[in-house]
Amino acid sequence: MNDSPEQEQEYDDGDVAIIGIACRYPGARDKEQFWDNLVHGRESITFLRTEEIEGDESLLNNPAYVRACAPLEGYDEFDPAVFGISDRVATLMTPEHRLFLESVWDVLEDAGYDPDRIQGEVGIYAGANPMTPAQYSSPPDWASVGPEVMDRSNSWFTDTMTSNALFYLGLTGEAVTVTAVCTGFHYSVHLACQSLLLGQTDMAVAGGTMVRLPQRRGYLWEEGRIGSRDGHCRPFDAKGTGTRLASGVATLLLKPLRQAVADGDHIYATVKGTAINNNGASAVSYGFAQPERLSACIAGAMHVGGVTPDTVSLYEANTFGLPITDGLEVRAAHLAFGKQTGPTSLGSVKGNIGHAGVAAGGSGTVKAALSLYHRQLVPTINLTEVDEDLDLPNTPFVPQLEGADWTPQAGVRRAGVTALGGGGYNAHLVLEEPPTRPERDPEARVARLVALSALDERGLVRRRAALREWIAAHPEARLDDICLSLGLGRRIMDRRWAAVVSTKEELAEALATESGGRVTSDGPAAHTDLAGLRQTDRGLVPDTSDGRRDEETLFRLAQAWTGGRPVDFAALYENGSARRVPLPGYPFERRRFWRTHW
């Protein structure tokens, strides 16, 4: 499946690859829309009309009440059928449990891994907002320990969010729910990387989720607190008055870099170093950044990764859009970076979406990882008058006011991402651009098997449409990569469709019109001609290497698969050069699940 030159290259044993990314934030249903919003400088904020506001009727006439929010579309919706979950249990689950479970599914699909065929241990580490369960429902009634109470307990506690993901996806590994307030995402990445580098897990999901309830409500502005006066967050701006709270979820799929390259994984970026610490007793107000301690955290992450400050050309700040908090963070970062002249791009995603609590670090990390992947710096919005008290000209930091190609002086693209949490929590990640992969020979024009499945016909139609749109948007994509990613990276479901094609153009036509290639869909398997096929432990496969590229043999294999027979997709790509690529994920059929009476 892999190019032999990739096997021969050397990689740092301490590097961890980001091979999958999934997220949902205000104004963004997925990472593609999130990135598009960042590139185009969009602000995902809603100013509420009186009739839209939930739960704050007594505050509406208060002059300090700010009618701004950053709602998460579909936060109360879920598709339980994909996970084999009953409607009753889906209703018991808190919104964060449901969002996180779907996000873990998404990140595995994005990386091209079917949970049913993953070999090895998968660790899951994530932070969650412990307030959400209490806001969504009352605690479980421990006067009974019967099945209904246990279902409710497992659906209610944040502790079980990660173990639920392992259970409902059919995985085994470590499950750790992290409680580190707004640094929960970063702490999860830190723990996941440690587990991977110690060999305790083979792959790891790290994430964080936050759902603010009710969604459509404002807040009271208070002088010097993090809620902004007008609902807008203005990072590093002289007129900044704070931020606003938001909801969201983000997950990364991680694997040791050397193994990711050997496995032909798609790599967005690498994690070079991570560090965490706490302020403890400090002269600074409790919960504010303590410059010396945060500086030690930032420097520690660089030291772990063997990274010098002059090679880090993007600093993605935590920033609350308050002059005092931004000043403390800039001072800390300057202490860590030292007197190097830079320039280092200074940015913050907070202007776009606000502060997503436990998932806030995820928004900055996804932004940095995608910036590295696309080699592009995106603008920090709402920054119109740089706060002179930050003294940025005497630091390496230059505010990123406009989008730009990323061309670092050091020759390598690296980013530092900081997260801060009330209670003195500090965390920092150092990311690097993905490694350069060896050039591959142009793919041969030979017959290939394309396989799609879904729970029902509607889902199958939507999968075909999404794949067709993706092919049109990615003219550089290779057919062998698409076939491998679908064959190995999607859970096999009851409704099936397959085609045997030799080009992407044939595939696009087959997806649209049922022509352009040899196409088959669900049908009885009993009468399938199995000539030229053999059975392995994992399913049917052509019995010769030539048969793997023979149109008639592959079409018989396609007919067997759509008829319900298992196929050994891995054998189709042995010793080839195909790699996993991020294709459209499952089209969830979400419905609203909500319970107001217990």
- Helix residue ranges per DSSP H, 348-503: 350-353, 360-374, 457-473, 479-489
User: Among 191, 192, 213, which Cα is nearest to 203's?
Assistant: 192
- Kindly calculate the radius of gyration of the chain based on its CA atoms and give it in whole angstroms: 25
Q: Residue 398: in which H helix or E strand, if any? A: strand 397-399
How high is the pLDDT of residue 598? 44
Strands 404-405 and 414-421, sheet pairing: unpaired
3-state secondary structure 171-226: CCCCEEEECCHHHHHHHHHHHHHHHHHCCCCCEEEEEEEECCCCCCCCEECCCCCC
The backbone torsions φ and ψ at residue 185, rounded to the nearest 5 degrees and listed phi first, read -65, -50
How high is the pLDDT of residue 147? 83
Positive/negative CA dihedral, 477, 478, 483, 489: negative
pLDDT mean over 278-305: 89
How high is the pLDDT of residue 2? 44
The backbone torsions φ and ψ at residue 530, rounded to the nearest 5 degrees and listed phi first, read -105, 20
pLDDT band at 430 (very low <50, low <70, confident <90, very high): very high
What CA–CA distance (Å, rounded) separates 386 from 257? 39
Within 8 A by CB and 6+ apart from 514, the residues are none
How high is the pLDDT of residue 361? 98
What CA–CA distance (Å, rounded) separates 193 from 115? 20
Query: Which two three-digit tokens encode residue 132?
Result: 């959400």
Query: Which two three-digit tokens encode residue 432?
Result: 């690097």
The overall average pLDDT reported for the chain is 93
pLDDT band at 596 (very low <50, low <70, confident <90, very high): low
The three-state secondary structure class of 548 is helix
b/e map of 447-473 (b: 16 or more CB within 10 Å)? bbbbbbbbbeeebbebbbebbbebbee
Percentage of the chain lying above the pLDDT 90 cut: 85
What CA–CA distance (Å, rounded) separates 210 from 248? 5
Q: How far is CA 13 from CA 16, 142, 257, 273, 494, in A?
A: 8, 47, 8, 12, 41
Within 8 A by CB and 6+ apart from 443, the residues are 478, 479, 480, 577
How high is the pLDDT of residue 469? 97
Query: Which two three-digit tokens encode residue 144?
Result: 């009974």
What CA–CA distance (Å, rounded) separates 101 from 135? 20
pLDDT mean over 421-434: 96
pLDDT band at 524 (very low <50, low <70, confident <90, very high): low
pLDDT band at 278 (very low <50, low <70, confident <90, very high): very high
pLDDT mean over 308-312: 96
pLDDT band at 519 (very low <50, low <70, confident <90, very high): confident
How high is the pLDDT of residue 567? 96
User: Among 588, 258, 302, 303, which Cα is nearest to 417's?
Assistant: 302
Tell me if 122 sits within 8 A of 255, measured CB to CB: no
The string of pLDDT tens digits covering residues 125-158 is 999 988 888 888 888 877 777 888 888 889 989 9
Query: Which two three-digit tokens encode residue 520?
Result: 């088959």
pLDDT mean over 569-593: 94
The string of pLDDT tens digits covering residues 341-391 is 779 999 999 999 999 999 999 999 999 999 999 999 999 999 999 999 999
Q: How far is CA 290 from CA 51, 241, 318, 406, in A?
A: 42, 20, 13, 31
Query: Which two three-digit tokens encode residue 253?
Result: 């799929």
Residue at 36: amino acid letter:
D
Query: Which two three-digit tokens encode residue 224?
Result: 């010097």
Q: Residue 445: in which H helix or E strand, if any? A: none
What CA–CA distance (Å, rounded) separates 368 from 132? 28
3-state secondary structure 231-271: CCCCCCECCCCCECEECEEEEEEEEEHHHHHHCCCCCCEEE
Q: Is the pLDDT of residue 402 over 90?
A: yes
How high is the pLDDT of residue 11? 87
| pTM recorded for the entire structure | 0.95
What CA–CA distance (Å, rounded) separates 321 from 228? 8
pLDDT mean over 11-25: 96
Query: Which two three-digit tokens encode residue 538?
Result: 């994992």
pLDDT band at 515 (very low <50, low <70, confident <90, very high): low
What CA–CA distance (Å, rounded) separates 316 from 495? 44
How high is the pLDDT of residue 1? 45
Strands 248-256 and 397-399, sheet pairing: unpaired
Q: Is the pLDDT of residue 3 over 90?
A: no
Query: Which two three-digit tokens encode residue 90?
Result: 């889906």
pLDDT mean over 273-284: 89
pLDDT band at 289 (very low <50, low <70, confident <90, very high): confident
Q: Is the pLDDT of residue 287 over 70?
A: no
Q: How many CA atoms lie within 13 A of 227 on its CB side?
A: 14
